């Protein structure tokens, strides 16, 4: 089976492209990105609940969201500015992780309708350096490790 | 029987993945690598041996210590280094699809 989400990252380049095809009309994929309530639903996961703090869907508008753990502590937050906002077509924005040493990245989100019921989202992310891009690519790999560690600790703690 | 090691078996283990992440930024001695883990030194040595056997790590003798570095050629072979990144987005988008299908029905 072909993978639904594709990552294209050339060796030695400072950008990457994420492509995904959806069994959804393009309007709904776009709406999932701009309605805080919907965005919170699909961005939340078993380790954290996402809350949209600010979202101004317009040129020069700002956005902010945070992820809180089971006890309500904010574990992660990010922010950025919207540079272009074309409903059902395009969002150009910056993305910055708060309290991290990583420089801001530039993201182009292109929404394409393929048919009445299918669509494609392409996210082109540009980083300040090759090293930074590679670090970001490896981040889930690294956090996956620490999460596995945490889970192990929880299991072990129950045994003691 | 000596089982042939393959890269996927090698990266299946969390400690070995952690070693790869460590060595990815700079070459390190076995001692320096081991100091990052609570695991006993011989266990770390065993992991290093497995990673070296399947050519994910290069070994170089420097004085009394062995220095380990990442073999970028082999790492390139396994695009799996970025697989967790792809999987993270894939899971997010699967959820987006589920949330929006429900939303569509509810309208």
Q: Write out pLDDT tens, residues B9-38.
A: 677 677 888 888 788 778 899 989 998 888
CB proximity B84 to A under 8 Å: yes
| Domain, as residue range, for B74 | 7-78
CB proximity B37 to A under 8 Å: no
Residue identified by tokens 């992820």 is A67
Structure tokens at B5: 């090691």
pLDDT attached to residue A111: 97
Q: Is residue B60 part of a domain?
A: yes
Strand, helix or coil at B107? Answer: coil
Long-range contacts of range B86-94, CB-CB < 8 Å, 24 or more positions apart? B86/A3, B86/A5, B86/A6, B86/A7, B87/A140, B88/A140, B89/A5, B89/A7, B89/A18, B89/A20, B90/A3, B90/A4, B90/A5, B90/A20, B91/A45, B92/A42, B92/A43, B93/A4, B93/A5, B93/A20, B93/A22, B93/A121, B94/A4
Q: Is residue B88 part of a domain?
A: no
Confidence of residue A108 (pLDDT cuts 50, 70, 90): very high
CB proximity B77 to A under 8 Å: no
Q: Is residue B98 part of a domain?
A: no
CB contact under 8 A, A144 and B84: yes
Residue identified by tokens 């078996």 is B9
pLDDT value at B92 more than 90? yes
CB contact under 8 A, B99 and A138: no
Q: Is residue B37 part of a domain?
A: yes
CA B39, CA B27: separation in Å to the nearest integer? Answer: 20
Which CATH number belongs to the domain containing residue B25 in this structure?
1.10.10.10
pTM: 0.68
Per-residue pLDDT tens over the stretch A21-77: 999 999 999 999 999 999 999 999 887 899 999 999 999 999 999 999 888 899 889
CB contact under 8 A, A5 and B100: no
User: Is the interface score ipTM higher than 0.95?
Assistant: no
CATH number at A5-133: 3.30.530.20
For residue A23, the chain B residues in CB contact (below 8 A) are 97, 101
Confidence of residue B8 (pLDDT cuts 50, 70, 90): low
Total number of domains constituting chain B: 1
Structure tokens at B33: 């690598």
Of B19 and A111, the one with more pLDDT: A111
For residue A5, the chain B residues in CB contact (below 8 A) are 86, 89-90, 93
């Amino acid at each position: 089976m072909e993978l639904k989400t594709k990552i294209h990252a050339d060796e030695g380049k400072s950008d990457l492209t994420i492509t995904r095809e959806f069994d959804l009309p393009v309007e709904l994929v776009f709406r999932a990105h701009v309605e805080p309530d919907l965005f919170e639903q699909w961005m939340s996961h078993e380790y954290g609940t996402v809350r949209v703090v600010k979202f101004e869907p317009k040129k020069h508008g700002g956005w902010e969201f945070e992820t809180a753990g089971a006890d309500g502590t904010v574990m992660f937050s990010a922010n950025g500015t919207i540079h272009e906002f074309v409903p059902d077509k395009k969002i150009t924005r910056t993305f910055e992780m708060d309290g991290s040493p990583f420089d801001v990245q530039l993201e182009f989100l292109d929404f394409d309708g393929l048919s009445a019921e299918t669509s494609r989202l392409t996210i082109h992310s540009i980083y300040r350096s090759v090293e930074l891009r590679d670090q970001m690519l490896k981040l889930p790999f690294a956090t996956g490790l620490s999460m596995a560690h945490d889970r192990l600790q929880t299991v072990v703690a129950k045994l003691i | 029987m000596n089982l042939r090691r393959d890269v996927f078996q090698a990266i299946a283990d969390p400690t070995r993945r952690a070693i790869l992440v460590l060595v990815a930024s700079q070459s390190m001695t076995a001692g320096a690598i081991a100091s990052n883990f609570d695991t006993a030194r011989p266990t770390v040595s065993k992991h290093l041996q497995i990673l070296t056997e399947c050519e994910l790590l290069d070994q170089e003798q420097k004085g009394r210590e062995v220095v380990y570095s990442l073999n970028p050629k082999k790492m390139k072979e396994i695009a799996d280094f970025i697989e967790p990144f792809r999987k993270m987005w894939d899971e997010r988008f699967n959820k987006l699809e589920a949330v929006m299908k429900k939303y569509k029905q509810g309208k």
